[in-house]
Amino acid sequence: MKKIVVLFSIIVAAAAFMLAAEQKENPKTASKETSKAATTTEHKIFGPTELTWGDAPPGLPAGGKMAVLDGDPNKKGSFTVRLQAPDGYKIAPHTHPTAERLTVISGTFHLGMGEKFDEAAGREMGPGSFAVLPAGMKHFAWSTGESVVQIDSEGPFEIKYVNPADDPRNAKKQ
């Protein structure tokens, strides 16, 4: 669950960073594109059993599952996803270029700030808990028991680990 939160945080942070960079380059075009991305064009209602779960993206540790509720985390614009984290799921310290908003749907998810994974420095979040992480905030997460967290951010999603050795994408290359 924490990994999901971290992943979504990274996604949100990455999206915000890219949007800010584009606005600096061309403020008129960027504001028009931002307005388009924020506009929902279709009506959607999902019950919990109607979500389509798949493996979490490669930037997150193996074992997590993700469901995309709205938008596309891989494209520019807002998105909402849910991360299902198994018991003991850990997401190492990382950042995102965009802000991340996290809501715990079920289970117990823990979130901590800083460059080092330190459970003593984390905060326990139960169902209904909410966190906002600004772009660039170094944070880490873990779950105790299975957890589901919802992440709202801006795409494209990006996650950058404080220690590159913690990045699951680098482990696959070795």
**Spatial separation of the C-alpha atoms in residues 126 and 24, rounded to whole Å:** 39
CB 101 within 8 A of CB 152: yes
| Model confidence pLDDT, tens digit, residues 144-166 | 999 999 999 999 999 999 999 99
Model-wide pTM > 0.75: no
Residue 80 domain boundaries: 2-40+53-173
CB 126 within 8 A of CB 144: no
CB 147 within 8 A of CB 2: yes
If pLDDT is split at 50, 70 and 90, which confidence band does 48 have? confident
In a domain, 68, yes or no: yes
**Spatial separation of the C-alpha atoms in residues 10 and 60, rounded to whole Å:** 10
In a domain, 159, yes or no: yes
- Three-class SS of residue 136? coil
If pLDDT is split at 50, 70 and 90, which confidence band does 44 have? confident
Is residue 7 predicted with pLDDT exceeding 50?
no
Is residue 105 predicted with pLDDT exceeding 70?
yes
In a domain, 45, yes or no: no
In a domain, 133, yes or no: yes
**What H or E segment, with its residue span, contains residue 31?**
helix 27-38
CATH code for the domain of 70:
2.60.120.10
**Spatial separation of the C-alpha atoms in residues 122 and 163, rounded to whole Å:** 18
In this prediction, residue 14 carries a pLDDT of 38
Pairing relationship of beta strands 139-155 and 100-113 according to DSSP bridges: antiparallel
Q: Which single residue is written with the structure tokens 């404080």? A: 162
**143 strand-pairing partners:** 109
Percent of the chain having pLDDT more than 70? 75
In a domain, 47, yes or no: no
In a domain, 48, yes or no: no
Is residue 8 predicted with pLDDT exceeding 60?
no
Crossing angle for the helix pair 27-38 and 2-25, nearest 10 degrees?
A: 140
Q: What is the mean pLDDT of residues 53-78?
A: 95
Q: How many domains does the chain have?
A: 1
Q: Which residue has the higher pLDDT, 26 or 69?
A: 69
Average pLDDT value for the chain = 82
Is residue 168 predicted with pLDDT exceeding 70?
yes
Burial class, 20, CB count within 10 angstroms (exposed 0-12 / middle 13-18 / buried 19+): middle
- Indicate the range of 12-16, 79-83, 170-174 predicted with least confidence: 12-16
In a domain, 46, yes or no: no
Is residue 134 predicted with pLDDT exceeding 80?
yes
